[in-house]
Amino acid sequence: MAENSFEEDKQLGTKFNKEDYKRIGAYLAPYKFSIMKIFAVIIFSNLVLVLGPFLTSIIIDDTIPNQDTTQLIWITILYTLAIFLNGAAVRYRLYNITELGQNVLRDMRSGLFNHLQRLSFSFYDTRPHGKILTRVVNYINTLSDLLSNGVINVLSDILSIVVTLAFMLSLNATLTLYSFILLPVLFVITLVIKNKQRVAYDELSVEQANLNAYIHESIAGIKTTQSYTREGMNYDIFSKFSDNQRKAWMRAVRIQFLLGPFVQNIATVTIAFIYFAGIRGLGVDVSTGILIAFVGYVNNFWNPIINLGNFYNSLVSGSVYLERVFELMDVEPSIKDSENAFEMPPVKGDVEFKDVTFGYKEGQTIFEELNFHVKPGETIALVGPTGAGKSTITNLISRFYDVQKGAILIDGIDIRNVTLDSLRNQVGVMLQDTFIFSGTILENIRYGKLDATREEIIEAAKIVRAEEFINDMKHDYRTVVQERGSTLSAGQRQLISFARTLLADPKVLILDEATSSIDTQTEILLQEGLDRLLEGRTAFIVAHRLSTIRNSDRIFYIGDKKILEAGSHEELIEKKGLYYQLYRTQSDLLQKV
């Protein structure tokens, strides 16, 4: 997949990946008892179904010539009962197959969502989120028909063909062979259509993903769009993606509907030939009743063939979506627990970078052999120009990315040797891009500690000075906020996010531009709470606003792939180096303001 591209996606081959269909078996396995019951009903239904032509032949060849009214009544009763039982069996089959299919889709979607929760940041860095959403929702929904009406029903159709074939052979073997005369034609047509249909649906899946990805991005960036009056241009781009999707859909449907008419025409020609052979006596000698019954069985034989043709259509189109889904499931997290990973012991807060080399892209390093040591309880401020790697240091401590060379140690333990959950449970992170979930303010703060009491949540809000604006709201902590906190100010979102992080009670605290959207007055109040919070904790603070880091134990000036300066605020001011210049620049700007 091209990096962050809406217009490119990996093209699938023209051949089925049979392993994907074997993997569906793993999802069907928990429902084997239900499948057995459905299959038993299918067997019963097929046996009942073949009674019709057989009873018809008896009526024509025996009952009517002998004027046997009693036999006609009993056959009518038996046939009516058979129709009623078959209807009940079909109803049971359809409902339970649909339920089975939906259960399997639910399990697949749950497994895919759980897998996505474990994928690394690097995966999401290089893929439009709309394309991921398309696979979780659209592609799995598209498989509904394949699973609900295909996998089990195809067994019914195959069984129906076998049972019908047995009755046909018992009636007349020659006529049975005549029934197969056009099967080679159907086989050739199917092979020709198959590859074209698979390619067409592959192109359709790509265009659907492109369209959904662009819609997702456009909605997420609607404020920027309207600010720059880009509505017209965005509509033109959307129209292009939408038109491509429409054309791909029409091509796929046009090819898909070719097979059905071919099968129906072949079935009609076959029935006509059976009548011709029976009447002309082309190697067969049968009664009128047997001939009519045989035509009924031919219909029973070709109807499942038509159903199998429709299933084959679903299989071809579904295989594209299925492979896309499993392709996503097969993505291995780049950051995961090592084979012998163990639980991180309670953290004291000793953090060390030893000869760390790292870059987001191959051949483009952010750091080269970076070294520093932070003692438990120290507060470290990270400053420097944009892109120098300040946030990268915090990402590496939380192991959102793995170092390429060297090691990061917490309390002397290489963080690659412990489980991710046990590490991240003890490292609190507040990112610059705060995220507020739809729900109440209480639920958003509790996100950092699911078993927290209301009192603990209120205390965390007090420390970060969030309680005042929360109490001013109509429903205080029960106030419902919208997705991404759109009904809150940027400062309010950061304060709630701060309370969430503090509630988790981390031993190592990371604040990445945590106060960037807070006004100066609130920042002064917040600083009082921070001073209390930081006592006894190891903290890393990324800040461009230098007034927030003056009390840090040490300040690291990051640049040129290493730490260029390190020391307290007073030491670095006295040194009159890079930090001094940065501080003076900010002071001059504030004075001008």
Residue 473: exposure state from Cβ atoms within 10 A (0-12, 13-18, ≥19): middle
Residues in the chain: 593
Flag whether 366 is in a domain. Answer: no
Are residues 369 and 356 in contact, defined by beta-carbon separation less than 8 angstroms?
yes
Domain presence at residue 476 = no
Mapped onto helix, strand or coil, the DSSP state of residue 485 is helix
Count CB-CB contacts under 10 A for residue 191.
Answer: 9
Residue 534 lies in a domain: no
CB 512 within 8 A of CB 431: yes
Nearest to 537 by CA among 302, 332, 406, 377: 377
Question: How much is the pLDDT for 111?
Answer: 85
The SS3 assignment for 131 reads: helix
Q: For position 593, what pLDDT does the model report?
A: 45
Q: What is the block-wise mean pLDDT of the chain (593 residues), using blocks of 10 residues?
A: 46 57 80 84 78 78 81 85 85 82 84 84 75 76 69 72 79 78 76 74 79 77 71 84 86 76 77 76 70 75 71 70 81 86 91 92 86 92 87 90 92 92 86 76 84 87 82 85 72 80 85 66 64 79 76 89 91 89 71 49
- Whether 178 is in a domain gets the answer yes
In the chain, how many domains are there? Answer: 1
Report CA-CA distances (Å) from 327 to 17, 130, 201, 429.
11, 16, 16, 31
Helix, strand, or coil here: 37? Answer: helix
Domain at 112, CATH number: 1.20.1560.10
Cα pseudo-dihedral 332, 338, 339, 343, rounded to 10: -130
Residue 26, in any domain of the structure: yes
Tell me whether residue 315 is in a domain: yes
Token digits of residue 565: 């300066």
Q: What is the DSSP letter of 416?
A: G
φ and ψ at 439, to 5 degrees?
Answer: 145, -170
Token readout for 128 is 């439009």
23: containing domain: 18-329
CA distance 509 to 540: 6
Does a structural domain hold residue 399? no
Of 204, 191, 186, 180, which Cα lies nearest the Cα of 12? 204
Amino acid residing at 174: T
Closest CA to 319 of 24, 20, 25: 20
Whether residue 197 is contained in a domain is answered as yes
